[in-house]
Chains A and B, each alone.
Chain A
Amino acid sequence: MSAHCIALITLLAPLASAAIIALFLRRQGTLAATLSTLTAALIAAGGLSLAFTGARFDGTVDWLTLGNFTLLLGIKFDDLAALMISVVGVVGLCVHVFSLGYMHDDAAKARYFGGLSIFMFSMLGIVLADNLFMIFIFWELVGFSSYILINHYYERQSAADASKKAFIVNRVGDFGFLLGIIACYYAFGTVNLAEITDKVQGGTAVAAMIPLLLFCGAVGKSAQVPLHVWLPDAMEGPTPVSALIHAATMVAAGIFMLCRIEPLFAAAPVALTVVMWVGAITALYAALCAITQSDIKKVLAYSTLSQLGYMVAAFGLGRLDILPEGETGKLTFITAGAAAAMFHLTTHAFFKALMFLGSGSVIHGCHHEQDIFKMGGLAKKMKWTFITFTIGVLAIIGMPGLAGFFSKDAILYLAMENNTPVFIILAFSAVLTAFYMTRLWRLVFFGAPRSDAASHAHEGGFSLVLPLIVLAILSAAGGYTALYGNVFDAVWSQIPVAHGSAHTTILIVSVAVMVLGAGFAFLLYKPASTDALAAKSPGLFALLALLKESFDAAYNWYVAKVQQRFAMLVEFLERIFLSGLIIRGLAGVVGLVGLGARALHVGSLHAYVYWFLFGAAILWAFAGGWLN
C-alpha cells in the first residue's frame, strides 16, 4: 500500500467511525466504544508506520474553484507532521483505552465515543494539512468536537455554559486567524505552506500584521492570555477528554500551527517578539493561578496553560546563534524556537496526558470527588496510579533524566541566550510549577484519607491502568531524542542544546529551580483539609486568587452587562428609528419619489397603492432617462 493511501485511510477512518456511530450505533454504546477504540488503534498504527518508515510525501487535489479563487485540499507529510501524528496517535489510543473503563457505565457512551472519533478526524486533518485554508477547516472542526465533548454532561448548566464559552472564545481567535489567512492569500497569492516558505525565503516582504493575525488563531486554540478563559472551564468535560483535547493535542495545535508558518515569523521579528511575550506572560500568569486551585483538574488545567505559554514563548524566542567554545565560526539554529516548542509539546503531551488520566483514575476511584483537600492517602490504595502519577510529576517539574527535564532545559537555554527577562520569567514559572505540582501530589497521595470517598478509594480496572503505564514509560524516556532514530531529524536537529559552560549553568539553574519549588511546597503543605498557604499567608493567597478571578469576573461582566445590554440597546434604537421611519408606509420609498409625509396619515391601503403608482411613474421616467 502506498504511503498516500495509508495516510488517507488514517485520516478518513475516524470520520467513517463517527458517521457509523451517529447513524447506527446510537443505542449500542459498547459497540460504539469498540469501533471507536479500534479506529484509534488503526490511527496509531497508521501514523506510527508512516512516521517511522520514513515516508515523506505531499499531494493535493482541488476542492472548490470559483473565478480565480481555488481552494485545495492536500497532505504535507514531513518530519513535523510525522512527529505530531505520532503524538496524536499514541495519546489518542491511550485515551480511548482509558475511556473504555472510565466511561463504562455512562448512559451516553455512543455519543462520547462518536465525539472522540470526530475529534481524531479533525485533529489529523490539522496535522496533515498542506495549506492554511485546510488547517482552518479542521481547526473549526476540532473546536466543534471540543464543544460537544465539553458538553457531554449536558444536564449540568455549568457544562452547557463552558462548552458555549469555549466555542465562542475560540471563534474570537479564529476571527483573526481567518483574516490572517485571507491576507496571506493576497500577499503571497497562495496559502500553501511550502509555497509560502519559498516566497518568503525568496525575499517577498512580510507585513508583521499577517503573522500576528495568524497568531490570533493560536491564542484562541492554545488558550493564551487573554483568551485563556475557556480552558479551565472546559474541565467540565469528562476527564479523558481533558487529557486528550485540553492537554495533549488540540490545545497544542496552536503551537503546531505556528511551527507550520515559522518562516513568516522569521521574516517579521516584531511579530515574533509579541508571540514571545504573550507566551511568557501566560506561562507566569497561569502558574500563579494554579497555586490556589483546590480542584485536581483545575490545577492541571492551569498547569497546562502555563506549559502552553512555555511552548509559545519558546517559539517566540526564535533562532539561536552561538559561538561554540574553541571554534571560530558561528553556529546557527534557524528554527531553534520552533524545535524547542515542538520538543516540549511532545514531552508535555506524554506527561500531561498521563497526569490527567491519573487524575481521572483518582476521580474514578474516589467516586467523582475532585477536591484535593478531600483526598489523601491514595498512595497506598491506588498503587499504579500513584507510581505513574509520580513519574508524571517528576517529569513536569524537570527531574534530571525524565522527559520534561530535556525539553524544559532546551527552552530555558534558548531564553538564556536570547532574552534575559524572559529567561527570568520562565525560570520563575518553573519554580512555581515545581511548587504547585508537589502541593497537588502531597495532598492527593499522602497522609490519611480526608473523606469517605478517599478512604474507600480503589484502583480501576486493567483498561485504566494500562494507558497510565504506557504514558509513564513515555514520560520517562520521551526526552531522549536518540530513541526516535532519525525520523524526526528536521525537528530534533534544531533543538538548542547547551554545551560547555552554558550546559553547566543551565543544569544548575534547572535543578535549583526544581529543588526550590518542590522543597518549599514540601515544607509548606502537610496533608490537611485546608490550604496551608491560605492559613499562613492569607494576603498572598487572596492576591493570587484575585489574579485568577479578576479575569473571570471581567469576562462575566462583559457577557452579562456589556454584550447583552448593548445588543438590547441596539434593538431598542432600531425599533424606534425604523418603525418611525420606515414602517410608516415606506417613508424610504415615499421620500424617494417625492411624496409628502402627509400621505402617511391617509392610512388606507388604497391610498398607498395610488400614491405608489404615481411615484412609480416618476421613477420610471427617471429610469427611462426623460428627466435627465
Chain B
Amino acid sequence: MFSHLLLLSIAAPLAAAAVISAGLPTRAAKFVATLGFALPALIALHVWYHFPAGVGANYEFIQSYHTGLQALGIKLTLGLNGIALPLYVLAGLVGLAAGLYAIQSGAERLKTYLALLLIMQAGLMGAFSSVDIFFFYFFHELALIPTFIMVGVWGGKDRGYAAMKMTIYLTVGAMLSLLGLIAIYYKSGAENFDLITLRQTLLEDGIIAGTQNHIFGLLMFGFGILVSLWPLHTWAPLGYGAAPSSAAMLHAGVLKKFGLYGLVQIAVPLLPLGATHWAMPLAWLAVVGNLIVIGLITIAQRDLKQMVGYSSVMHMGYAFLGVATLSAVGAGGVVLMMVAHGFSVALLFLLSTSVYHRTQTFDLTEMGGLVQKAPVLAAFFVTATMASIGLPGLANFWGELTIFVAAWKFSPLLTVLAVSGVVISAIYGLRAAARVFFGQPTEAFAKVIAEKPPVDLRWSEKIPALILLAALFFIGFWPKSLSVPLNAALEEVYPSKAPVITIVGQ
C-alpha cells in the first residue's frame, strides 16, 4: 500500500471524479470530492515529511507500472527527486485549497465542476511525479483539457473568447514542448522515455551543439508559452480574468509551473549547450518583457482579477531569469519561487473572488473601505499581497533573493533591471490593497453596502485560505524544509561549474 502512494494520489481524485459523475446526490458528491482532494494533499505531506534526509539526488518512492506501451519505450514510472518534491507538495496543497473553495462556491452544475477539477488535480499530481517524460506530458494534457472546459462553461465575462484563446495558445505551447521532448528522446538514442535513463545516456554521449540549440529553442518557446513568457503571455491575464476561481487557482498556481519545471528538470540539464545558446535572449525577454513591461502594465490595471493575472505573468520573469542563469543557485531559486508563487497567487485569486462576492465588482475604482466590514479578509489579503511582493517571512522572498544572487553573476545589468521589479510590485500590490480595503467606500460601493451589507470571511472560505497562508509562512520561516532535498538534487543535475559543459558527441 505505502509503496504505491504516488499512484494512489493520482488514482484517488480520478476515482472520486468517476464516482461523482456516476450520479451521486450533491451532498454525497461534496463529501467524495473532499476526500478526492484531501487524499493527495495528505499523501503529499506524508512524502514530504518522510522524504529521506540528506538525499534528493535520486528518485525516491519510485515505482514502475506496465502500460502495454513498453515497445515504444513508455512505462509509467512514478517517483520524486528533490526538484519534483516541492512541486508535488504544491500541487497537493493548492489542489486541496482550490477543491475546498470550489465545494463551497455554489457553482451551477456543481458536480460536473467538481469532477473536472478532480481530473485536473489527478493530472497535476501525475505530472510532477512522473519520471517518464511521456507521462509527464500526458498528465499535463490531462490537467489542461478540463481547464479549457471550466473556463468556457463556468467562466466570467468574455469566457468564450478567453477559452478559445487559452486553448490555442496552450495547445501550441504544449505541442512545441512535445516536439522538443520527442526530439531529445530520439536524439539521445536512449531506449526509453525514462528521465533517469535519458540523463545517463546523455551524460555518456551528449547531443551535438547545433541540434541542442534547435531542441532547446523549441522547448524554451513551447514551455515559455505555457508559463506566459513575454510576448507569448496574452492568454494569461485574459484567461485568468475569465476563469472560475478554483480553476484559476489550480492553473496559475500549479499547472503553469509545468513549463518551468520542464525547463529546470529536463531542458537545461539535458541540453546544456542549447541552454547556453539561448540563455541571453531568454533573460532579456524575461527581464524587459515580463518584469518591466508587464510590471508597468500591472500598475495600469483597474480590474482586480486582471491585476492578479498580470502580476502572475510579471513574477514569471524572475523565474525565467533564474532559469537563464543556468546555475544551481538560479535553478534552486526558480523552484522556491515556483512553489511560493503557486501558493500566493492561488491565495490572491481566492481572496479576489471573496472580495468580489462582497463588492459585486472587480473594478478597483468602485470599492474602498472594505476593511471596516471584513477585517479578516483584509488581513489575509494584505498578507497575500506582502507574500507576492516578496516580504521576508513569507515564502516568496527566498526565491526572489536567490534568483537575484544568481543573476548578478550572470549579468549585473540585468540584475539591476530585475531588482527594480521589487519597487514595481510594491506599487501595484499596495495600490490594490489600499483601493479595495482602506479609506472610505466609493459611492458605488456604498450603494452595494446599503443593499447587501458585506460580511467577513466565512469559515468555508477561511479554511482553504488558511491552508495556503500556513504554507507561505512555513516555507517563509523554514526554507530548509524544501531546500535540503532540492539542493541535493541540484548538485546532481547542475554540477557546480556553471554553465554545464558536457561532451559534444559527433
Q: Which residues of chain A have a CB within 8 Å of any CB of chain B?
A: 22, 63-69, 71, 133, 136-138, 140-141, 144, 147-148, 151, 154-157, 159-161, 163-164, 167-168, 171-172, 174-175, 178-179, 182-183, 185-186, 563-564, 566-568, 570-571, 574, 577-579, 581-583, 585-586, 588-589, 605, 608, 612, 616, 619-620, 622-625, 628
Partner of A154, one of B392, B438, B479: B438
Spot the interface stretch: B197-205, B344-352, B408-416, B457-465.
Answer: B408-416
A586 in contact with B172 (CB, 8 Å): yes
A612 in contact with B392 (CB, 8 Å): no
Q: Tell me, in angstroms, the Cα distance from A570 to B297 when the chains sit together.
A: 6
Return A621 CB to nearest CB of chain B, in Å. 10
A69 in contact with B299 (CB, 8 Å): no
B293 in contact with A164 (CB, 8 Å): no
B168 in contact with A585 (CB, 8 Å): yes
Partner of B327, one of A67, A148, A616: A67
A144 in contact with B391 (CB, 8 Å): yes
Partner of B426, one of A156, A171, A577: A171
Contacts A574-B297, A623-B215, A624-B186: A66 and B427 contacting too (C-beta < 8 A)? no
A133 in contact with B329 (CB, 8 Å): no
Q: Which residues of chain B have a CB within 8 Å of any CB of chain A?
A: 164-165, 168-169, 172, 175-176, 179-180, 183, 186-187, 208, 210-211, 214-215, 218, 221, 231-232, 234, 293, 296-297, 299-300, 327-329, 331-333, 336, 369, 371-372, 379, 382, 386, 391-393, 397-398, 401-402, 404-406, 408-409, 412, 415-416, 419-420, 422-423, 426-427, 430-431, 434, 437-440, 479-480, 483-484, 486-487, 490-491, 494, 496, 498
Nearest B residue to A617 by beta-carbon distance? B179
Contacts A160-B438, A582-B232: A137 and B419 contacting too (C-beta < 8 A)? no
Partner of A67, one of B404, B439, B487: B487
Q: Tell me, in angstroms, the Cα distance from A625 to B218 when the chains sit together.
A: 13
Return B384 CB to nearest CB of chain A, in Å. 13
Partner of B300, one of A564, A586, A619: A564
Return A20 CB to nearest CB of chain B, in Å. 15
Contacts A154-B437, A182-B415: A568 and B300 contacting too (C-beta < 8 A)? yes
| 3 shortest interchain CB distances as A-B pairs | A67-B328, A66-B332, A160-B438
A566 in contact with B483 (CB, 8 Å): no
A63 in contact with B480 (CB, 8 Å): yes
A567 in contact with B296 (CB, 8 Å): yes
B491 in contact with A175 (CB, 8 Å): no
Partner of B393, one of A63, A141, A589: A141
Q: Tell me, in angstroms, the Cα distance from A615 to B329 when the chains sit together.
A: 37
Return B478 CB to nearest CB of chain A, in Å. 9
Question: Which residues does chain B contribute within 8 Å of A154, judged by CB atoms?
Answer: 371, 437-439
Contacts A68-B329, A570-B300: A160 and B434 contacting too (C-beta < 8 A)? yes
Return B325 CB to nearest CB of chain A, in Å. 10
B296 in contact with A566 (CB, 8 Å): yes
Q: Tell me, in angstroms, the Cα distance from A156 to B406 when the chains sit together.
A: 42
Q: Tell me, in angstroms, the Cα distance from A154 to B169 when the chains sit together.
A: 43
Q: Tell me, in angstroms, the Cα distance from A619 to B438 when the chains sit together.
A: 53
B494 in contact with A67 (CB, 8 Å): yes
B210 in contact with A68 (CB, 8 Å): no
Pairs across A and B, CB under 8 Å, 12 listed = A63-B480, A64-B479, A64-B483, A66-B328, A66-B336, A141-B393, A160-B434, A179-B415, A567-B299, A612-B172, A625-B187, A625-B214
Return A138 CB to nearest CB of chain B, in Å. 8
Q: Tell me, in angstroms, the Cα distance from A371 to B324 when the chains sit together.
A: 57
Q: Tell me, in angstroms, the Cα distance from A174 to B392 when the chains sit together.
A: 13
Question: Which residues does chain A contribute within 8 Å of B299, judged by CB atoms?
Answer: 563-564, 567
B487 in contact with A66 (CB, 8 Å): yes
15 extra A-B contacts, CB within 8 A, seeds A67-B496, A155-B372, A563-B299: A64-B480, A65-B484, A66-B333, A140-B391, A140-B392, A140-B397, A185-B405, A574-B293, A589-B172, A616-B175, A623-B183, A623-B215, A624-B186, A625-B211, A625-B214
Nearest A residue to B433 by beta-carbon distance? A164
Partner of A168, one of B176, B416, B426: B426
A141 in contact with B391 (CB, 8 Å): yes
Return A183 CB to nearest CB of chain B, in Å. 7
Nearest A residue to B330 by beta-carbon distance? A67
A156 in contact with B231 (CB, 8 Å): no
Return A83 CB to nearest CB of chain B, in Å. 25
Q: Tell me, in angstroms, the Cα distance from A366 to B210 when the chains sit together.
A: 79
A582 in contact with B300 (CB, 8 Å): no
B434 in contact with A583 (CB, 8 Å): no
Q: Tell me, in angstroms, the Cα distance from A71 to B404 when the chains sit together.
A: 13
A172 in contact with B423 (CB, 8 Å): yes
Partner of A619, one of B218, B332, B397, B423: B218
Partner of B293, one of A171, A564, A570, A589: A570
